[in-house]
Structure 1
């Protein structure tokens, strides 16, 4: 929303009444929400722009190093360095990590490795996982939870390759839809649409017979349409007040019914803008992992995104060191010795 000089009832000799104070507060809140929405949209677009070149390659590199470690474990298992208790731990680590890399990161080359250590074929397990997910998504309880979700969403780089591709496709379609909606003047809230329709009834030039009046109404409709396209409730309200010959200096003279009407529209607009803000914050959270309630500014969001990139670089550096370290069988054995397979009793392998 642009060029929306705030609607404000000025203080006069007598103090403002409750409805006048509410009018001023609601107008200021809308202005603040508009600015914040624009800032958050810029942050979201900036992350989408940077992801293909800066984040996605790091994610692929990190998961590739994980796959290298799985293959190292596989080779080590077949060597004669370890007793059965160590081999059982390796088999567990291989199947756990290989399944995640195959299912969530598309590394299908690990399927033969997984199947060597699992009694159930990987394709059977993947099909079962897909069926469980489809059942969960169709569950009304899940749908209700998704609407009222309070926990931060999973970071984009932690999603499966299939989900990443689906989200990217949805984002491309969403951006296209947004352009179409803007072109068709359809991206508006109910409160904006309500005021817009009232103004159109008054200023639409098609039924005007007087040429000069038609010209005046055409120019006015252009202003109205521009405000409507920008979802600019305050701008539309200013025009509506002009129609009623209510100028800014005369706002204090609005009667009780007029103030109630405007305050109702302003409250509705705030509610709708808050919903837009929450939806945008949740999309931001899905990319950078920042709890959506904390995604309140461009600086905060981009700082979290940059931190994710730096953390991933550090993780890549560390996993490369781990791989090199575990090339020495004794060092890998030292790691495996205290490792406990979940659900199994603790054992201290004899040397």
Structure 2
């Protein structure tokens, strides 16, 4: 089944904000504004594409991958039972029994990775000559010791070591608790340390920063007030127009609450309150102020995009750059791999009922093919 990555227009284009001039070349500030608008347009479209693709990804995981993983575990369990039954049949040589045991252990381990299964655990223990629970506890203890050596924290016994997300969350909580116990504040400085008096240069820098933040906030507020004045629905006598203005005012309020100057400017253009010529005529200082705010919005977009991509790389154990197209190709590959593995195991289950066919199949199996998957079973 082929699904679209996302629609042809996942985010509305930034229209009317690009500055043009027929009388004189654009100034340095105007060119910088246009460049920033182009970057915002690209980032916003990329984020919209990711959001839509994540919906498709989650739907495909639930509807395609999970059922196949469940089916794979069922087929593995069925083949493990069939090979266990063949293991005790007359006419099976000692070497063939060793191969059968290796296969049973491999299959049982696959089922146990997907679910807790007492029957598979018993087969694993019987044919592996070991104890699955003891092996799991030893592996968890080894991993905890390694993490303790790296991060200096002790993970509790109730942490699901099979879940990278749970381990990461516990590590973060433990490290935060350790920092608090050591009397450190959010900046890592001892809470009991007396506050340092800022230098004159630092005071001046903080004052400039506060003034800039106030000016940027006032800039957004000014744009909001102009929109609110034009769109206030209570001043509109026509019912249809009042409904339109109410919907527009809701969008204005949402943009203002998010401090989204870009969206407010787009709304001004949408209602024809301003146009490109109006923006081109802005004073350089006003244009610089707009750029300050828009750069902050661009940074927020990039942080969200990077967070999505980082989480996916961690979740799927991927390296390098990831794109929406590559993410869904990853699902395609997993679906194809699961389908192929299920077909292979179904075929092996079918031939396991015939001892002669089973013996021929066992003869065809090479140690290298299975040892790598299971970890090296001696036979």
Range of TM-score over shorter length: 0.5 to 0.7
1:177 equivalent in structure 2 = none
Q: Is the 8 A contact 2:224 2:252 kept in 1?
A: no
CA drift of 1:27 comes to: 0.8
Structure-2 residue corresponding to 1:180? none
Quote the residue 2:130 is aligned against: 120
- What residue is the counterpart of 1:179 in the other structure? none
Q: CA deviation at 1:237?
A: 4.9
Gaps of 5+ in 2: 1-10, 154-159, 167-212, 226-231, 236-244
> Structure 1, residues 284-343: CA drift from partner, whole Å, max 9, x if none?
56788887734235xx65455355434433432232113223442322321345557468
**CA separation of 1:214 and 1:128: change in aligned 2, threshold 3 A:** same
1:330 has 2:349 as partner? no
Matches of 2:332 and 2:136, distance apart in 1: 33
Per the normalisation by structure 1, the TM-score is 0.63
Question: d(CA) in 1 for partners of 2:360 and 2:261?
Answer: 67
Match of 2:19 in 1: 9
Q: Describe the shift of the 1:259–1:249 C-alpha distance in structure 2 as closer, same or farther (beyond 3 A).
A: same
Match of 1:275 in 2: 303
The alpha-carbon distance between structure 1 residues 304 and 117, as it changes in their structure 2 partners (threshold 3 A), is closer
Structure 2 residue corresponding to 1:47, chosen from 43, 57, 69: 57
Report the equivalent of 1:148: none
- The separation in 2 between residues aligned to 1:316 and 1:117, in whole angstroms, is 23
Q: Taking structure 1 as reference, are residues 287 and 320 closer, same or farther at Cα in structure 2, changes over 3 Å only?
A: farther
- Aligned position for 2:119: 109
Aligned CA distance change for structure 1 residues 83 and 57 (closer, same or farther; 3 Å): same
Residue aligned with 1:14, SS = coil
1: CA distance between counterparts of 2:359 and 2:61? Answer: 40
Cα 1:302–1:96 change in 2 (3 A) is closer
Distance 1:135 1:254, change over 3 A: farther
**Total equivalences in the alignment:** 294
Report the Cα distance in structure 1 between the residues aligned to 2:82 and 2:217, rounded to whole angstroms.
Answer: 68
Structure of greater Rg: 2
Matched, 1:224 2:252: yes
Q: In structure 2, what is the Cα distance between the partners aligned to 1:346 and 1:125?
A: 18
Q: Which residue is equivalent to 1:188?
A: none
3-state secondary structure, aligned to 1:293: coil
Q: Is the 8 A contact 2:216 2:293 kept in 1?
A: no
Quote the Cα distance in structure 2 between the aligned partners of 1:9 and 1:142: 55
Question: In structure 2, which of residues 71, 79, 99 is the aligned counterpart of residue 61 of structure 1?
Answer: 71
RMSD, aligned CA: 4.7
| Distance in 2 of aligned mates of 1:115 and 1:321 | 26
Deviations 1:177-204 (A, max 9, x none): xxxxxxxxxxxxxxxx989953676699
**Structure with more contact order per residue of length (Cα contacts < 8 Å, sep ≥ 6):** 1
Residue 198 in structure 1 maps to residue 218 in structure 2: yes
TM-score for the superposition, normalised by structure 2: 0.59
Equivalences for 1:75-90 in 2 at 5 Å?
75-90=85-100
Q: Is the 8 A contact 2:224 2:264 kept in 1?
A: no
User: Take 2:68 and 2:79, find their aligned partners in 1: how far apart are those partners?
Assistant: 17
**Which secondary structure does the structure 1 equivalent of 2:103 belong to?**
helix
Equivalent residues of 1:203, 1:221 under 8 A apart:
no
Deviation at 1:112, TM superposition (A): 0.7
Report which stretch shifted further, 110-119 or 280-289.
Answer: 280-289
